[in-house]
Amino acid sequence: DGGITQSPKYLFRKEGQNVTLSCEQNLNHDAMYWYRQDPGQGLRLIYYSQIVNDFQKGDIAEGYSVSREKKESFPLTVTSAQKNPTAFYLCASSTSHQGQGAFFGQGTRLTVV
């Protein structure tokens, strides 16, 4: 089945450690996105990529890094420079075709203690 997979669903890390969240899609989508969602809030764009080997900062990129070495994969690293990393992280992918929305993974809930 085609889809977008995030792993793990829940992740715990100690303060000061970098952590990488996985996002894989087999939908052959060109564009991929990372969003952060805090309780009761909307989705805020961290990074997005429109094509392999290219990505752009979103509104809250500080303290995060990404790579797009393969079309299928868009991992997000939450670095120790991110001041408040505990949040729900959502990955999405989309085509450029008109009429098709972005599809989301199940999300990763990161808790930093």
Partner 1 sequence: GQNIDQPTEMTATEGAIVQINCTYQTSGFNGLFWYQQHAGEAPTFLSYNVLDGLEEKGRFSSFLSRSKGYSYLLLKELQMKDSASYLCAVRGGSGGYNKLIFGAGTRLAVHP
Site string for partner 1, 4-43 (x = CB under 8 A): --------------------------xx-x-x-----xxx
Per rule CB under 8 A, is residue 77 in the interface with partner 1? no
Q: Would you say 17 or 106 has its CB closer to partner 1?
A: 106
By CB under 8 A, name the one of 56, 70, 81, 111 that touches partner 1. Answer: 56
- Cβ contacts of 81 within 8 Å, gap of 6 or more: 62, 63
Per rule CB under 8 A, is residue 61 in the interface with partner 1? no
Q: Could you tell me the two tokens for 14?
A: 């100690």
Measured distance CA(70)–CA(53) in Å, rounded? 8
Residue 81 phi/psi, 5-degree rounding, is -80, -15
Measured distance CA(35)–CA(14) in Å, rounded? 22
Q: Could you tell me the two tokens for 15?
A: 């303060």
By CB under 8 A, name the one of 24, 68, 105, 112 that touches partner 1. Answer: 105
Q: Which residues bind partner 1 (CB under 8 A)?
A: 30-31, 33, 35, 41-45, 48, 50, 56, 58-59, 90, 92, 94, 96, 98-107
